[in-house]
Amino acid sequence: MRDERAPRDEAELEERLARPTAAVIATLAALDGDVLVLGAGGKMGPSLARMARRALDAAGVPREGAGARQVFAAARFSDDALASQLDADGIVPVRADATDRDALARLPDAPNVLYLVGQKFGTQHDPVGTWTQNVIAPVLAAERFADSRIVAFSTGNVYPRTPVALGGARESHALVPDGEYAASCIGRERVFEHAAARRGTRVLRYRLCYACDLRYGVATDLAVRLASGEPVPLATGHANVIWQRDANVLALRALAIARADAPALNVSGPIVSVRRMAERLAARLGVPATFTGAEADDALVVHTGALDAALPPETGTDAPLPLDTLLDWTAEWVQHGGRVLGKPTKFDVRSGAY
């Protein structure tokens, strides 16, 4: 039976986010070699690395000796505590700047790479840094790990806003940048496509839309606003959201479908109404839901039919977390003073400027 109780603190939250499913365990057991999470110092990297380690442990893969397989977490690690925590969890932390070719050369030859390096916020004030992280770093990583399977994280920002009534942008939709961040993300994808075409590198372009960890995410943005008595703007009236544990699961499963034609895959939950999410959160918080503006006909939303076909949803306790449960957990987390990262998703920004 699924544990429907909300995580009580960050330790329990981290444990929930890192729980592998049966499909993740089976996927990593069937693949060969070590796993490298490149860009592991961000919001998703730590729990993703922990899930990979726990899945290998559950599959009976040893950490030492004959047949051992490691999970490496590479980042600059400005936070020494994070590196120590990962080490205590059986993950090998490696300090590396993804924009330094020499640093990448010293990384282990992992056959399985989760590529999470990227920059979004601050693009407006540091466009050079954004292009460095989102285009130059992928060039170096694609060169270094040409013989690996790579799940290259991308974003729904590569699409333009589309009519909500059409069900969201599909993977075949034309990529139309809205601002420098989106343009640099298209550049990142093209780099990995180039590596696949020229070197036969097995790539999956993982277009993730709005993963939610109770400390951040669209639901948290709304809950914090409501708890502060602020109205919710409705111009962006719809969004896709996904519980971060489910996004971690899909990223690790996606290693098995990386191919030399570098397919793209939209990764998120269904399109949901911002008004509906806000009303559910307000009811749980015990505050009124107030709004400004009206829902536009279009939004940055994606269609996830290809995801369900490529990586069919698991069932039972491994099934994706229902939206209402995520909203209930988020409201409880915010109401009881759970730590919030203070990094709004800016899902409602319609100018392309981040």
Q: What are phi and psi of 277, to 5 degrees?
A: -65, -45
Give pLDDT, residue 2.
65
Q: How many CA atoms lie within 13 A of 162 on its CB side?
A: 22
Render pLDDT for 215-243 as a digit per residue (tens, 0 to 9): 999 999 999 999 999 999 999 999 999 99
Tokens of 177: 């940048």
CB 242 within 8 A of CB 266: no
Cα separation, 72 vs 89, whole angstroms: 11
In degrees to the nearest 10, what's the CA dihedral of 30, 33, 35, 38?
Answer: -130
Give pLDDT, residue 1.
56
Mean pLDDT of 116-129: 85
Show Cβ contacts of residue 354 under 8 Å, excluding neighbours closer than 6 positions. 120, 121, 122, 123, 124, 179, 181, 346
Mean pLDDT of the chain: 95
Q: What is the pTM of this model?
A: 0.96
CB 257 within 8 A of CB 306: no
Give pLDDT, residue 265.
98
* pLDDT more than 70, % of the chain: 98
Mean pLDDT of 126-135: 92
Give pLDDT, residue 343.
85
Max CA separation in the chain (angstroms): 62
Which residue, 232, 320, 348, is CA-closest to 279? 232
User: Does residue 89 have a pLDDT over 80?
Assistant: yes
CATH code for the domain defined by 10-212+241-268+301-315? 3.40.50.720
Cα separation, 302 vs 299, whole angstroms: 9
Which residue, 269, 145, 136, 158, is CA-closest to 205? 158
Tokens of 342: 């203070």
Render pLDDT for 157-195 as a digit per residue (tens, 0 to 9): 999 999 999 999 999 999 998 899 999 999 999 999 999
Render pLDDT for 136-164 as a digit per residue (tens, 0 to 9): 999 999 999 999 999 999 999 999 999 99
Q: What are the domain boundaries of the chain?
A: 10-212+241-268+301-315
User: Does residue 352 have a pLDDT over 80?
Assistant: no
